[in-house]
Structure 1
């Protein structure tokens, strides 16, 4: 009897909703719902899902309380991304992405443990530019 081959697991993709392109600056440019609190595994997925028009992300700023410990920089797609952790001035439910000569983008971060029934409407509201309750 031949063994049944299972298909390889599908690669993870970032759970991301972005606001439509606009020339008017926004406070929040969309929402991201990571699967874990591990920046080293989550940031490459996030950066890989961003539009090419955002340019090469070289800096990421997060709130310290939201994430597990991580180094000050990491290699993503053969370029260095600096990770900056803040505790006071940054909203714990946002992430800031920086790209030289392209700009800055702030995303609402839906905590990984939030149920899909709650995460999906939060992400849609953030992408639409609506007010949302904190996760």
Structure 2
């Protein structure tokens, strides 16, 4: 559970820092925290979240190693953007949009009911 919590937080940080969110903002994106209070995600959405999170964990691990081994801030930013793109693709392939993924991740971190439901599905 702690790994998922940390991973979801890091994934949110990576996604929030990248162009994916900026792109969504230009298309009427709402703050994911606004949906964080929703505890009524259906099982299908939570399963999609878990699927996306598994993929994101792998992407995060791969890119964190790459970022730690670069010698310039510019290269690190390029890798972060690349990782954001792959994470966004993983979310999309799992059947979620980024705002929904971010809202579930935020709810997982702040709402024990959502956390318990997700943990019981893993």
| Same fold by TM-score greater than 0.5 | no
Flag the structure with higher helix content: 2
Whichever of the two has the greater Rg, that structure is 1
TM-score class, shorter: under 0.3
In the superposition, the TM-score normalised over structure 2's length comes to 0.26
